Amino acid sequence: MSSRRNFLHLSGSVLAASALTPLLYSKLHAGVSQNDKIQVALIGCRGMGFYNLEDHLKMSEVECVALCDVDDKVLNERAAKVLELTGKSPKLYKDYRKVLDDKDIDVVIIGTPDHWHCLPTVEACQAGKDVYVEKPLANSIAECQVMLAAARKYKRVVQVGQQQRSGQHWQDVVALVQSGKLGTIRKIRTWGYFEYGKGNPKVADTAPPAGVDYDTWLGPAPKTPFNANRFHGSWRHFWNQGGGLMTDWGVHLLDIPLWAMNVTTPLSVMASGGIYAYPENCIETPDTLNVLYDFGKFTLEWDHAGGIQKGIYGRNYGVAFVGNNGTLVVNREGWEVIAETDNKNAAKTELIPLQPSDPKDHEKHVRNFIECVKSRQQPICDIEYGHNSALVAHMGNIAYRTGNKIFWDAEKGKFKNDEKANALLKPNYRSPWKFPVV
């Protein structure tokens, strides 16, 4: 590609000897210059990854140069779509490490299942690439921690796919909570009632479809026979690949209280639930779960149900900040404030009827990332925020799986006096994959 590549390929001694002009100096340190095309590769192309790429391609400065997937069918279909959208054929890879070796690539978008976020992100940071990685940041707490360390050590821009942070209406809600108008907030409810959370009817194991490198799809996760229910899209219901509704939707919704209340991790977590409603289905994660977090000054509830869609406040999912003066209810469809009243029926705060949502949040999120790739600023959902909400979501699952009330030691980054909970912090990577060291 461009002059930038040639410039970066100059040897260190040439650079040291030359009197760097401010422009060249800023180019060297800014990563991508204002004039260059930003060369993007997508790893994991089937679902959300491709949606992310499509929004990247709405920006004239972005070029898709490569696609990577372990499924030939997905790879070929997505390559044809990129050709249709851009007039150019991307390079195709089945091994993400080849993408990271490609010096022309500035940015990788990671749209793989959750168990496949950590290694490509860490190695992309080590290879000097910026990363747009899907949520939840990873499938375990230890993976989130090492990814954050890598982003910081290698000074990379890492945007996490929690696009609500870019939505104007979520920003308005956070400002209203922080204004104090709702009064003291003593509890926050988050909930997700989704049909897909019940899993699918059981089907027999089979051979993997032709053209699928199933061993690489499993990657660092334990070897399990191929089953269509544990593969594309539905891996979310199995612990080795995902964390069920708790992490799939939990990270989006728990992120809002963490942001509005300016907190990171809770003091303690308790959970109850099970596969109560659809025991006949093929699913490992609970279809029914209630989690209670204590942050010292307020409680935070997570409540999920798979297979039903009528949640509280007339919404199947959302966040409710319960204040002394009123309750603010929000989801992707909009927000409102339900005013509290005193004994004489006088409202304690202004009743705010349903306010519209921001349909452009995802596009803005992608644009913010690309702007930050150029400016080297932290993106709006910097990896630290993705890390925090993933930790809180994983804690819900760990409380459920241990049956314990668990206590977090924020300084040590593990649970206090709880071997059972600490054993669930980090997955055992299957050889030849190695847990990354940063």
Helix (H, G, I), strand (E, B) or coil at 418: coil
Q: Following DSSP, what letter does each residue of 161-212 receive, concatenated?
A: S-GGGG-HHHHHHHHHHHHTTT--EEEEEEEEEEGGGG-EE-----PPPTTB
Q: Which two tokens stand for residue 428?
A: 């055992």
Q: Token pair of 100, please?
A: 């990271």
Q: Which of 294, 306, 317 lies closest to 395 in space, CA to CA?
A: 294
Interacting residue with ligand NAD among 113, 199, 250, 266 (CB under 6 A) = 113
Stretch that binds ligand NAD, among 8-16, 215-223, 332-340, 410-418 (CB under 6 A): 215-223
Q: Which of 402, 194, 157, 141 is nearest to 316 (CA)?
A: 194
Q: Is 116 in the site for ligand NAD (CB under 6 A)?
A: yes
CB-wise, 45 or 174, nearer to ligand NAD? 45
Q: Which amino acid is at 198?
A: K
From residue 13, alpha-carbon distances to 3, 10, 27 in Å are 19, 8, 18
Minimum CB separation of residue 202 from ligand NAD in Å reads 19
Residue list 297-336, contact with ligand NAD (CB under 6 A):
none
Asked if residue 232 binds ligand NAD (CB under 6 A), the reply is: yes
For the bound state, the minimum distance from the C-beta of residue 129 to ligand NAD, rounded and expressed in Å, comes to 15
Site for ligand NAD in 55-84 (CB under 6 A): 68-71, 74
Nearer to ligand NAD, 27 or 315 (CB): 315
Which of 140, 216, 157 minimizes the C-alpha distance to 436? 140
CB of 85 to ligand NAD, least distance (A): 18
Q: Name the residue nearer to ligand NAD (CB basis): 90 or 111.
A: 111
In angstroms, the CA 282 to CA 277 distance is 12
Query: Least separation, in Å, of the C-beta of 164 and ligand NAD?
Result: 9
Q: Report the site for ligand NAD in 273-292 (rule: CB under 6 A).
A: none
Report the SS3 class of residue 41: strand
Helices (H) and strands (E) counted in the chain, each on its own, are 15, 18
Q: Residues 135-174: x/- map of binding to ligand NAD (CB under 6 A)?
A: x-------------------------x-x-----------
Q: What is the nearest approach in angstroms of ligand NAD to the Cβ of residue 407?
A: 28
CB-count exposure of residue 209 (10 Å: 0-12, 13-18, 19+): middle
Candidates 55, 63, 106, 134; binder of ligand NAD (CB under 6 A) is 134
**Nearest CB to ligand NAD, comparing residues 161 and 326:** 161
Residue among 170, 150, 62, 74 nearest 109 (CA)? 62
47 binds ligand NAD (CB under 6 A): yes
Our finding on whether 31 is near ligand NAD (CB under 6 A) is no
State the alpha helices, DSSP H only, in 116-167.
118-126, 141-153
- Asked if 219 is part of the footprint of ligand NAD (rule: CB under 6 A), the reply reads yes
Residues at the contact surface with ligand NAD, assessed by CB under 6 A: 43-49, 68-71, 74, 96, 111-114, 116, 134-135, 161, 163, 216-217, 219, 232-233, 248
